[in-house]
Chain A
Amino acid sequence: MEKFEVLQSTAVPLPIENIDTDQIIPARFLKATSREGFGENLFRDWRFDNAGQPKADFVMNTGRYSGQILVAGKNFGCGSSREHAAWAIYDAGFKVVISSFFADIFKGNALNNGLLPLQVSDEVLARLLGQIEEDPQTTLVVDLVKQELQVPAWEEKIPFEIDAYKKECLINGYDDIDYLVNQKDAIEQYEKSRPWAY
């Protein structure tokens, strides 16, 4: 996993609520058996028409916005547990998703892939979307170390929450598997001591 400390980037706004993982990456594109290449089909049915031509009005196609931060409506990533959704977003070049609410599984999947799900309040989200739409050159600073989001022209910095362990993992590029494999002794001990084993 790539390390993440501070990111400075412009952002792409997607002010739609309840974006589910079927929209992020439709099931028919889940047939690959490796992790790469899903970015091409990110938001497939919003981004391309049936003939595979880009839809001119979709935010990623207008040419107006770019950057490594996706700013999306509330309840982002609901639906299926497919980690392909996180892979697709990451593969398409995003390192951060900002929303006012994330679905649980998506959040976990994102963190396991070095993609930061950054949760802000509904008000901050609305202001942020307004600001980016007004000035697509707006450059945001996501400082994971300080747990702060900085928006130029805003006086205050926006603090955000992240689990301390997950933060460590992102900063150092570790993932859970490294940690868990090292717990083997404790796990075997547990297996012997369980009150009821299946």
Chain B
Amino acid sequence: MAKTLLDKIWAAHVVKSIPGGGLDVFYIDRHLIHEVTSPQAFDEIEHRGLPLFRKEQIVATADHNVPTKNQHLPIEEPLSRFQVDKLTENCAKHNIELYGLGHENQGIVHVMGPELGLTQPGMTIVCGDSHTSTHGAFGAIAFGIGTSQVAQVMASQTLLLSKPKSMRITVEGEVKNGVTAKDIILYVISKLGTGGATGYFVEYAGSAFRALSMEGRMTVCNMSIEMGARGGMIAPDQTTFEYLKGRPFAPQGERWEQAVDYWSTLYTDEDATFDKEFFFDAQDIAPMITFGTNPGMGMAINEVIPTDVPASEVASYNKSLNYMGFQPGESLLGKEIQYVFIGSCTNSRIEDLRQVAKFVQGKRKAPHVEAIIVPGSKHVEKQAIEEGIDKVLAEAGFELREPGCSACLAMNEDKIPAGAYCVSTSNRNFEGRQGPGSRTLLASPLVAAITAVEGKIVDITQYLNESSGSRLGMTKQYEEAEQLL
């Protein structure tokens, strides 16, 4: 029978099915942990006297709570320090590989895993973090779990799961100038809504996704959770293999050949069917921005805030716009912005930083804007310095910080003040997400960079036409930027 990519990987990981119900004992290949959602899981297994079942399949990093300045010094904030120390202590006690503060591999868990080659096609990957969906970009089943499940994986390397329904989202065609991976996914979420894919596992297909680099694919899969999906995935191909080859944890030599042979079987068969399908035309997608307090409230940057809202949603919609200080029917063009945050597991990879640097080279940020760039990992930071990106950014008045989640969720000191607007490359614009009272507008790194320079929201499509003939979208063609820098 014809199978989907999800079917193939799922079936390969079922230890056994429980009779009479829809639940499988499902095997997990890789388990990533971080300081916020692991301490109670360690407590749990210790309390029950259970050993770690496969500790060599666990990798830890410190990211959510870490400062982005002076990482060589002890963390000032006592609670954050305690949590990070607790992780170090737990990893030492249980002999788990830890890329903690100061380690050359440290970074946001969803940036660190892929760049080290820990994330591979056909794998099952979990982490106590909803954006684990990021790793699906490699053709893996990757999803976020709660702390009780973290303990379950620690104790058994399995989870009890029912197989999610399948959804395919196809985007065909070439995107317009200035449209990046982030715009594609913001567009899709604006069409499906925040609950539109709840209960489903999404496969992204079509030439628009094929054309993306691995960084772009990760941006797309990362935000799957923002429409409720359990995860998102893209079938592995040459782009995937090229990215992985030679990475520290990727198979080597003969094992590499075997791996590629196997990975090449991981695609959706032609006649396979999905529980739900959506089709979009890449040409319909414009640079996007969000105007509300969930990621589904997005629109093309030069559109006006929609007024056609279903009656049942009006109250929530108005509450959201009220929080943001916007009116239905209003355009965002010309709105003054105080903060620009470029970072998070959605857009903090080297390609994102290159794109920003390419745009801001020779320009300066507007004086009233605070522009923070937080690389996703130590490796990204190092590469940015090697490529001279740090200098370009510094000259433009952008501050390049040290890696971590930072203002994406404001657990450390990087917070947006109440009432201030922040154009952010992260994935969530929830009330207070970037600090109590903060107002977040989600966008691509390109839109964020342009906003920082202009000091306000501008119609970037017009901007691109006027100011440059070169392509700024983050498709594979974008690699020309490397030569430029």
- Chain A contacts to B: CB under 8 angstroms: 15-18, 20, 22-23, 26-28, 30-35, 45, 50, 73-75, 78-84, 86, 101, 103-105, 108-109, 112-113, 122, 163-165, 175-177, 179-181, 183-184, 186-187, 190-191, 194-196, 198
Complex CA–CA separation, A78 to B12 (angstroms): 29
Whether A112 pairs with B148 at a CB distance below 8 angstroms is yes
B-side contacts of A163, CB under 8 Å: 21-23, 162
The answer, yes or no, to whether B468 is at the interface (CB within 8 Å) is no
Name the CB-closest residue of B to A193.
Answer: B15
- Residue in contact with B146 in the complex, picked from A20, A33, A109, A190, CB distance below 8 Å: A109
Identify the interface centre among A84, A86, A196: most chain B CB within 10 Å of its CB.
Answer: A196
Whether B15 pairs with A15 at a CB distance below 8 angstroms is no
Complex CA–CA separation, A99 to B64 (angstroms): 30
The answer, yes or no, to whether B74 is at the interface (CB within 8 Å) is no
Taking A27-B410, A78-B195 as contacts, is the C-beta distance between A104 and B152 under 8 angstroms?
A: no
Name the CB-closest residue of B to A112.
Answer: B148
- Chain B contacts to A: CB under 8 angstroms: 12, 15-16, 18, 20-23, 25, 27, 29-30, 36-37, 39-40, 43-44, 48, 50, 53, 64-65, 79-80, 82-83, 86, 120, 122-123, 128-130, 144-149, 151-152, 155-160, 162, 164, 194-195, 198-199, 225, 228, 230, 262, 294, 312-313, 315-316, 319, 409-411, 418, 428, 430-433, 436-437
Complex CA–CA separation, A18 to B309 (angstroms): 15
Whether A31 pairs with B12 at a CB distance below 8 angstroms is no
Q: Which 4 A-B pairs have the closest CB atoms?
A: A33-B39, A109-B146, A83-B146, A112-B148
B-side contacts of A17, CB under 8 Å: 313, 316
A-side contacts of B164, CB under 8 Å: 104
Whether A81 pairs with B152 at a CB distance below 8 angstroms is no
Whether A16 pairs with B319 at a CB distance below 8 angstroms is yes
Query: Could you list some 21 contacts between A and B, CB below 8 A?
Result: A20-B428, A20-B430, A22-B409, A28-B410, A33-B83, A83-B40, A83-B147, A84-B147, A101-B195, A104-B164, A104-B199, A105-B144, A109-B146, A109-B148, A164-B21, A180-B155, A183-B25, A187-B156, A191-B27, A196-B122, A198-B123
B-side contacts of A18, CB under 8 Å: 194-195, 294, 316
B-side contacts of A32, CB under 8 Å: 79
Whether A183 pairs with B15 at a CB distance below 8 angstroms is yes
Whether B410 pairs with A105 at a CB distance below 8 angstroms is no
Taking A80-B130, A112-B149, A190-B15 as contacts, is the C-beta distance between A34 and B37 under 8 angstroms?
A: no
B-side contacts of A75, CB under 8 Å: 194-195, 198, 228
Complex CA–CA separation, A196 to B28 (angstroms): 13
CB proximity of A28 to chain B, nearest CB, Å: 6
Name the CB-closest residue of B to A169.
Answer: B160
Whether B15 pairs with A86 at a CB distance below 8 angstroms is no
Taking A20-B294, A30-B411, A163-B23 as contacts, is the C-beta distance between A180 and B152 under 8 angstroms?
A: yes
CB proximity of A47 to chain B, nearest CB, Å: 12
Complex CA–CA separation, A191 to B64 (angstroms): 33
A-side contacts of B194, CB under 8 Å: 18, 75, 78
Taking A18-B294, A75-B228, A177-B48 as contacts, is the C-beta distance between A81 and B130 under 8 angstroms?
A: yes
Whether A74 pairs with B195 at a CB distance below 8 angstroms is yes
Whether A183 pairs with B198 at a CB distance below 8 angstroms is no
Whether B37 pairs with A83 at a CB distance below 8 angstroms is yes
B-side contacts of A15, CB under 8 Å: 315
Whether A22 pairs with B433 at a CB distance below 8 angstroms is yes
Whether B146 pairs with A86 at a CB distance below 8 angstroms is yes
Whether B82 pairs with A81 at a CB distance below 8 angstroms is no
Complex CA–CA separation, A22 to B130 (angstroms): 12
Name the CB-closest residue of A to B27.
Answer: A190
Name the CB-closest residue of B to A49.
Answer: B436
A-side contacts of B128, CB under 8 Å: 81, 83
Complex CA–CA separation, A20 to B433 (angstroms): 10
Whether B418 pairs with A50 at a CB distance below 8 angstroms is yes
Complex CA–CA separation, A180 to B29 (angstroms): 16
Complex CA–CA separation, A194 to B276 (angstroms): 30
Complex CA–CA separation, A113 to B44 (angstroms): 13
CB proximity of A29 to chain B, nearest CB, Å: 9
B-side contacts of A80, CB under 8 Å: 129-130, 409, 428
CB proximity of A95 to chain B, nearest CB, Å: 17
B-side contacts of A105, CB under 8 Å: 130, 144-146
Name the CB-closest residue of B to A122.
Answer: B312
Taking A45-B436, A198-B120 as contacts, is the C-beta distance between A181 and B25 under 8 angstroms?
A: no
Complex CA–CA separation, A86 to B27 (angstroms): 25
Complex CA–CA separation, A112 to B145 (angstroms): 11
CB proximity of B40 to chain A, nearest CB, Å: 5
- Given A105-B146, A187-B156, 13 new contacts (CB under 8 A): A15-B315, A16-B319, A23-B430, A45-B436, A79-B428, A81-B37, A81-B146, A108-B146, A177-B50, A180-B158, A183-B16, A186-B25, A196-B262
- Residue in contact with B431 in the complex, picked from A22, A33, A101, A164, CB distance below 8 Å: A22
A-side contacts of B159, CB under 8 Å: 176, 180
Whether A177 pairs with B148 at a CB distance below 8 angstroms is yes
Whether B228 pairs with A22 at a CB distance below 8 angstroms is no
Whether A186 pairs with B16 at a CB distance below 8 angstroms is yes
B-side contacts of A82, CB under 8 Å: 36-37, 146
B-side contacts of A190, CB under 8 Å: 15-16, 27
- Residue in contact with B160 in the complex, picked from A23, A34, A79, A180, CB distance below 8 Å: A180
Name the CB-closest residue of B to A198.
Answer: B29
CB proximity of A53 to chain B, nearest CB, Å: 14
B-side contacts of A73, CB under 8 Å: 316
CB proximity of B249 to chain A, nearest CB, Å: 9
Name the CB-closest residue of A to B83.
Answer: A31
- Residue in contact with B430 in the complex, picked from A22, A83, A103, A108, CB distance below 8 Å: A22
Complex CA–CA separation, A80 to B147 (angstroms): 12
Complex CA–CA separation, A195 to B79 (angstroms): 45
Name the CB-closest residue of B to A177.
Answer: B152
Complex CA–CA separation, A176 to B154 (angstroms): 12
Taking A81-B128, A81-B144, A109-B148 as contacts, is the C-beta distance between A195 and B12 under 8 angstroms?
A: yes
B-side contacts of A109, CB under 8 Å: 146-148
